[in-house]
Amino acid sequence: MDSESRFASYEDLKSALEKYQKENYVQLYKRDSRTLDAVRKRTTQRNFNDALKYGQISFHCIHGGRRFQSLSKGLRPNQRTFRKECQAHIRFSTSEDGQYLIVKSINEQHNHGLSKVAFDHLPHQRKLDSQQKEEIKELLRLKANKKLLQNHLQNSLGRVVLLKDLHNIATARSTNELSELEATVKELKEIPGAIVEIVVSEENVLNGIFFQDKEMRLTYQQYPEILFIDATYKLNDLRMPLYLMIVEDGNGESVVVGVFVLASEDATSIAQMAKIFKRNNSRWSETVTIMADKDLTERQVFKAEFPDAKILICLFHVLRTFRRELTCDKMGVTASQRLEILSIVEEMAYARSHQRYGELYAKLVENGPENVVTYFNKNWHNIKEEWVYAHKNCGVTFQNQTNNRVECINQKLKDVIAKYSNLQLFFRNLLLVLESLRTEQSHRAISILQKVPAMPFEVGSVQHQYGQILTPHALEKVIHELNIGAKENQSQINQDLQISANDCNCHFRRSMKLPCHHIFRFRRQYSRSLFCPDLCAVRWTLEYYRINNNVLSDHEIEFHAGAFGINVTKPKPITSQFQKFKKANLIAQKLASIVSESSMSEFNSKIEVLELLVQEWGSGRAVALSTSNPAETQETESINLQRKSVPGTNNTTAGTATVHGTNNTTAGCVDSNKDGSHASAKEKTVVIVETSDCAIAVSEVCDAENSTPAVSVDCSKITMTPDKFTDLSNIHLPSKLKKRGRPKGLEQTVVGLPKKKKCDTPVPFKKIHPKDRDRCKFISCRTSANFTSALFTVMLSWFVSPSDTNEAVYGKKLGSKSVTSDTRLIPNSCLDETVNILHIKNYFAYDGWAAVMKAFQSKYSQKDWYCGVCDLQLTKSNSIRCDSCLNRDHLLCAGLNTYPKQNKWFCGRCKK
């Protein structure tokens, strides 16, 4: 490009500039600081004509312009700029005839180096077009490895692609994109026959989302007997737990029939979702069993919403609760008592009969401490029908004792859904997992219905006949009962069972609705046919499975069309003390979660605020939280805790505690204003709470919580789709979770391996530094400021009794009467060459030390070594020494055949 170059159109100019940039490795900017790539988008022939009209246009090097003057406060120290005051440029002006642009001046002197490698790494040389971005975004959505994708793009496109570029493409949002909630609801509504209902509060804040498609409704319509419900956490950045509702189909498969997320796990929100589920599923009244955990709110809500269903507690949650609650600190028991109590309650959970449970309960009452018995009676004994095996299987459970079906699907969800995903991506990946599960289940169903099982039974046998009518899952159960019935004797049968040719009251028959081994034995005894299709519930038959299979069914069940609605929750006023505690506890849990996610400096500040709040409320004063308006002031944001005297109390003091912070984050320390003034006029009050008589004892609340009170939710105040809530863009989402990185050591080690529990390994005696031998594992001395080593305690124990050792540690000088005279009682450790017996001289009086030296010399003169296991005499040739305790054992007694190759060896006593 030279002064003779003429450009009659923008296309000619653009081509020349692109060629110049590539040949000279220079990135050019237009005069108005827009890049050439931006000019490509915005400049047309009309703009080119304007340049002709105004006479000139210029392009500068990307490193040109005045040096950037930073006004930052150093909070982001790693910010950098391309500006280096480079004077290189190209200026174009209008030709004399006004028809062309010609080069007026060109400066190719740069104050920086030029190279192809640096040019290829410039942002606008790495830029990808829209089609390439869409292809990359789709690959990243499928979780393609970014490093492999980066290598593929660089080889195929011939340009530099950074991992940062791929990350920006994955997280980019278009300017005309809908809000997060609108985009999510739009995707869910596009699913044929889907039901999407949004629950919001009166303040227009999102409380929950319920979703159910046609496949889910159809499956629940076919298998409504048992419902598994549980929640999983940390899957979205709104802190909204995901609840799954699952049933067991005719082949024992777990099928999701309902999904909802909640911002608050209170009784009102859960009851709202249960009512939505009932409203859209007409056969809800046929659900006879619901499996959940021991969460009091869930159990009470589902008891109220499903009055005919039996609420069971997952066995895993039962045993885990026992382990957490029956501890030495909480119950005031010893470790051995705790183990005995846990073994008893575990046997109770697995008790196969009411009599066995009664025996174990009597044993617990007889041997257990009073507080343990009180806790068990209040929390577990009165609900034994919900967690004891003998009581649970009196109804339809299909032999399910846990919520493992839900946990299994939760694990599959977490393999696909990244932690703390945004709401739209969360639901998108959730539906992806559910679709994958359906595909696999459909394939297994097709295989069952189209393939003939190769059974090792003769044609016409009982097993073959049942195999013709039952699904594989049910057939496996029946064959197992047939085998038991053929081997069982009359003496092995429980005499309390009521057995007939068509029915039995045993656990298997009640829970599975299939013929048990008692019925088979009764029929065999009275020469009745063992094959009876009427003994099997219809849900287990192949015909029912084929007709109601969503893939192969040839009929349609009438459903109302998919729907979308917004429900506004008006919670019932809280009146009782227990209900107040439950609501306050939910808020306190959220508060604890937010505080724990803060950095250390913010954490300390927020803890001080909470401690101040507890102190003020405990004193009977009201507290008002006020925050400054950032739109009216540029000063540091402050949060004021205004203390006000409560009517009816003697508190007359008033003051203001201020917490200072920056960037809308509470950080700093708590200070009291000396003048006692209130907040400024620019501040607005956020919360005002008066609590003069709200103090309640925690122990009383815990007792109330465990007393299983009734839960009532007033849903008469719930309205559907009011006009002011129809616009989803106006609905406020709960606060998102801030990502602050992985806490050190929380889940993984530095190299990414699962964190292992640290165990104390023995330290060889000779590895201890001479100074450390005098200072390791210090024990504070009561009589002086000196410290005594635990190593000295061990050495003292060789010659004196444990009680005398303790007295010596705390300053008493030991006399000759304290020293043992029997050399057999002195361990051989004192004879090791690494031991310096003089280290313990200061703990003895003159006569005591003389007795120690006499015993030591006597032991040394004998040089008799005895095995620490068999207590027989040994020699160095057939023994091995422990490098920690310095004792010797026979090789065989130590469990060794030959000497170990490693430099150090520790006996089993030291390893423990």
Note the pLDDT tens digit of each residue in 44-54. Answer: 555 566 665 55
In this predicted structure, what is the pLDDT of residue 759? 52
| pLDDT confidence tier of residue 493, bands split at 50, 70 and 90 | low
Distances (CA, A) of 808 to 786, 794, 796, 799, 814: 13, 12, 8, 12, 7
Side-chain-side CA neighbours of 608 within 13 Å: the count stands at 18
In this predicted structure, what is the pLDDT of residue 783? 30
Q: How far apart are CA 454 and CA 450, in angstroms?
A: 13
Q: Which two tokens stand for residue 389?
A: 């095996």
Q: What is the largest CA-CA distance in the chain?
A: 124
Q: How far apart are CA 87 and CA 678, in angstroms?
A: 58
In this predicted structure, what is the pLDDT of residue 688? 31
Q: How far apart are CA 564 and CA 570, in angstroms?
A: 20
Q: What predicted TM-score, i.e. pTM, was given to this entire model? A: 0.62
Q: Is 792 helix (H, G, I), strand (E, B) or coil?
A: helix
Distances (CA, A) of 83 to 29, 111, 112, 838: 12, 11, 11, 73
8 A C-beta contact, residue 541 and residue 566: no
Comparison of pLDDT for 590 and 358, the residue scoring more: 358
Whose structure tokens read 């018995």? Answer: 373
Comparison of pLDDT for 208 and 882, the residue scoring more: 208
Q: Out of 85-89, 238-242, 704-708, 741-745, pick the least confident.
A: 704-708
Q: How far apart are CA 855 and CA 853, in angstroms?
A: 5
Q: How far apart are CA 483 and CA 475, in angstroms?
A: 12
DSSP alpha helix (H) spans, 229-295: 267-280
In this predicted structure, what is the pLDDT of residue 880? 83
Q: Is 715 helix (H, G, I), strand (E, B) or coil?
A: helix
Check pLDDT > 70 for residue 740. no
In this predicted structure, what is the pLDDT of residue 496? 73
Q: Which residues contact 179 (CB under 8 A, 6 or more apart)?
A: 728, 729
| pLDDT confidence tier of residue 540, bands split at 50, 70 and 90 | very high
Check pLDDT > 90 for residue 295. no
Check pLDDT > 50 for residue 331. yes
**CA of residue 575 relative to chain centroid, distance:** 34
In this predicted structure, what is the pLDDT of residue 31? 52
Please tell me the total number of residues recorded for the chain in this structure. 912
Q: Which two tokens stand for residue 875?
A: 């020699």
Q: What is the mean pLDDT of residues 499-517?
A: 90
Q: Which two tokens stand for residue 880?
A: 């091995």
433 φ, ψ (degrees, to nearest 5): -65, -45
Check pLDDT > 90 for residue 223. yes
Cβ–Cβ contacts within 10 Å for residue 794, how many?
15
DSSP at 48: H
Q: Which two tokens stand for residue 860?
A: 């040394």
Q: What is the mean pLDDT of residues 815-823?
A: 81
Residue type, position 765, single letter: F
In this predicted structure, what is the pLDDT of residue 712? 40
Check pLDDT > 50 for residue 773. no
Comparison of pLDDT for 298 and 129, the residue scoring more: 129
Q: Out of 209-223, 301-315, 644-658, pick the least confident.
A: 644-658
Check pLDDT > 90 for residue 471. yes
Cβ–Cβ contacts within 10 Å for residue 571, how many?
19
The CA dihedral of 516, 521, 526, 529, to the nearest 10 degrees, is 60
Check pLDDT > 60 for residue 365. yes
Check pLDDT > 60 for residue 667. no
Q: How far apart are CA 313 and CA 382, in angstroms?
A: 13
In this predicted structure, what is the pLDDT of residue 173? 64
Q: Which two tokens stand for residue 800?
A: 């004196």
Q: Are strands 56-61 and 89-94 parallel, antiparallel or unpaired?
A: antiparallel
Residue type, position 660, single letter: H
In this predicted structure, what is the pLDDT of residue 338? 87
Helix H or strand E encompassing 311: strand 310-313
| pLDDT confidence tier of residue 886, bands split at 50, 70 and 90 | confident
8 A C-beta contact, residue 441 and residue 433: no
| pLDDT confidence tier of residue 305, bands split at 50, 70 and 90 | very high
Q: Which two tokens stand for residue 240?
A: 């909204």
Supply the angle between the helices 404-416 and 423-450 in degrees, to the nearest 10.
Answer: 120
Check pLDDT > 60 for residue 685. no
In this predicted structure, what is the pLDDT of residue 219? 92
Q: Which among 196, 208, 216 has a CA at the least distance from the CA of 258?
A: 216
8 A C-beta contact, residue 865 and residue 874: yes
Q: What is the mean pLDDT of residues 879-896?
A: 80
Q: Out of 354-368, 498-512, 736-750, 872-886, pick the least confident.
A: 736-750
In this predicted structure, what is the pLDDT of residue 533? 92
Check pLDDT > 90 for residue 684. no
Distances (CA, A) of 899 to 281, 373, 377, 836, 883: 73, 54, 58, 27, 14
In this predicted structure, what is the pLDDT of residue 420? 84
Q: Which among 657, 667, 617, 662 has a CA at the least distance from the CA of 637?
A: 662
Q: What is the mean pLDDT of residues 189-210?
A: 89
**CA of residue 860 relative to chain centroid, distance:** 61
pLDDT digits (tens, 9 = 90+) for 224-252: 999 999 999 888 888 899 999 999 999 99
Q: Out of 329-333, 405-409, 599-603, pick the least confident.
A: 599-603
Q: How far apart are CA 628 and CA 549, in angstroms?
A: 61
Helix H or strand E encompassing 846: helix 846-862
In this predicted structure, what is the pLDDT of residue 561? 55
Taking only Cα atoms into account, the Rg of the chain, rounded to an integer number of angstroms, comes to 39
Check pLDDT > 50 for residue 636. no
Q: What is the mean pLDDT of residues 276-302?
A: 88
Check pLDDT > 70 for residue 555. no
| pLDDT confidence tier of residue 284, bands split at 50, 70 and 90 | very high
Whole-number average pLDDT of the chain: 76
Q: Which among 327, 316, 314, 175 has a CA at the least distance from the CA of 246?
A: 314
In this predicted structure, what is the pLDDT of residue 852? 86
Q: How far apart are CA 615 and CA 592, in angstroms?
A: 17
In this predicted structure, what is the pLDDT of residue 816? 83
DSSP at 394: T
